[in-house]
Structures are given as structure tokens and as C-alpha cells.
Amino acid sequence: MFENIYKNHSLIPTLRRNYFNETGTAKIKFTENQTKRFKLISCIKQLAVKDLVSSSVKREIAQEFTKESQKQKMNSKVLDLIYRYNIYPESYLEELLELAVTDPASINQALKAASGK
């Protein structure tokens, strides 16, 4: 049992380097690689689809990817407000993205008002 725990723990640095693009020696840094990220996401989704994990893990996977899709929808709404309807200047992008996280209803109202013009 302890030997398996040791072996699993010793795999963590290898997994971080191979799948999460860990770099650095004194400090751990991660570089963003979109192709590896999408492969990892599709692999996680396949675990849930092929019944390879328990039902509780399936629920957690579904909740996590629902959050991600909702976040992407809000980001696209903010981009519509800035670039499609030209209501806000591009310099407001960060503030609007933060507002979308804290108060998504206000972004939805602004988008309704803009599309109703």
C-alpha cells in the first residue's frame, strides 16, 4: 500500500511536465498550450461518457464543464457589447468581464437594451 502511494506521488512531477506544460526549476510555471488543454478536456469528457467513473464524479465533471460553457457565453456577450453594438470602448473589456462574473444579469440587461435599439 505505501509503495503504491509512493509510486503515485512520484508520478506527479512527470504528469505536470507532460500534460500541464510545467516549466522552471526553482519555481513552478505553467505555459498555456491550447491543443493539449482541449485533448485533456475531451479525455475527461470521454471518461464520463464511457461509464469509466462513478456517478458522483460524472456529476462533478458535468458541473465543471457547465460552468466553463456559461463563462464562454458571458464572454461572448461582453464581446458583442464592445464590438458588435459599439456601446463600450475596448478599454472597458477587463471591467466588463469582471462584471460578467460578479453580476451577469447586468450584462444580460445591457445586451437586451443594445439589441432592442
| pLDDT tens readout for residues 8-17 | 778 777 877 7
47-76 exposure pattern, b = at least 16 Cβ within 10 A, e = fewer: ebeeeeeeeeeeeebeeeeeeeeeeeebbe
How far is Cα 20 from Cα 36, in angstroms, rounded to an integer? 8
**Unique residue bearing C-alpha cell 475527461:** 44
pTM: 0.48
Identify the band that residue 30 occupies on the pLDDT scale cut at 50, 70 and 90.
low
| Ramachandran quadrant class, 69 (left: phi over 0; alpha: psi -120 to 50; beta: rest) | alpha
Q: What is the pLDDT of residue 36?
A: 76
Q: How high is the mean pLDDT of the chain? A: 83
Pick 29 or 13 by higher pLDDT.
13
Cβ neighbors of 106 (< 8 A, separation 6 or more) are: 99
pLDDT at 117 > cutoff 70:
no
Give the number of other CB atoms < 10 A from CB of residue 114.
Answer: 16
Domain ranges of the chain: 32-115
DSSP letter string over 33-55?
A: -HHHHHHHHHHHHHHHHTT-S-H
